[in-house]
Amino acid sequence: DSGVTQTPKHLITATGQRVTLRCSPRSGDLSVYWYQQSLDQGLQFLIHYYNGEERAKGNILERFSAQQFPDLHSELNLSSLELGDSALYFCASSVGGPGTEAFFGQGTRLTVV
């Protein structure tokens, strides 16, 4: 158990819908990262928050947004879902920035039908 909690574990939704994925980082970790992993794309970095502030953005679509709340949990919002958005979405946390050891959650498997 990494200490990072992601909910829900599985999500099935229809195209065009909107979903919210939630991540609770390890106690004391200030950084939260979101990644998308699909079969043919590998692990794609989406976004990094540190203590509530956005620090880096990767290949995150405009239909996707994220935030980190004062209690340090984070949410990833995916809207106007397309079939190609089906993937495993991982959240990771670390005590400091990207160079410090990151702990990954078990992921949310999103299936868009």
Interface residue list for other proteins (CB under 8 A): 2, 4, 33, 35, 42-43, 45, 48, 50, 55-56, 58, 88, 90, 92, 96-107, 109
Beta bridge partners of 7: 22
State which residue, 35 or 64, has the beta carbon closest to other proteins. Answer: 35
Query: Closest distance between other proteins and the C-beta of residue 18, in Å?
Result: 24
Residue pair 93/26 in contact (Cβ under 8 Å)? The answer is: yes
User: Which of 14, 42 has the CB closer to other proteins?
Assistant: 42
Min. distance of Cβ 16 from other proteins in angstroms? Answer: 27
Residue 74, class by beta-carbon neighbours within 10 Å (0-12 exposed, 13-18 middle, 19+ buried)?
buried
Q: Which is nearer to other proteins, 18 or 47 (CB)?
A: 47
Which residues are CB-contacts of 61 (< 8 A; sequence separation ≥ 6)? none
